[in-house]
Amino acid sequence: MEQEILSELAAIKSAIYILIAIVTIGVVANFIRVYFTSKNYIRNELNDLFEKELEEMFDDGRYNELLEKCEKKLKSSSNHTYALWYKGKALFQLGEYERAKEVFGKIIVLQPSWEEGTVKPYLQKIEQYQNENR
Quick: pLDDT tens for 92-102. Answer: 999 999 999 99
What Å distances lie between residue 104 and 33, 56, 58, 79, CA to CA? 37, 20, 16, 12
Residue 76 to residue 69: CA distance in whole angstroms: 12
Region 46-62: what's the mean pLDDT?
A: 94
Are the C-beta atoms of 27 and 19 separated by less than 8 Å? no
pTM of the model: 0.74
Quick: pLDDT tens for 68-78. Answer: 999 999 999 99
Domains of the chain listed by start with CATH number: 2-132 (1.25.40.10)
Q: Got the DSSP string for 20-48?
A: HHHHHHHHHHHHHHHHHHHHHHHHHHHHH
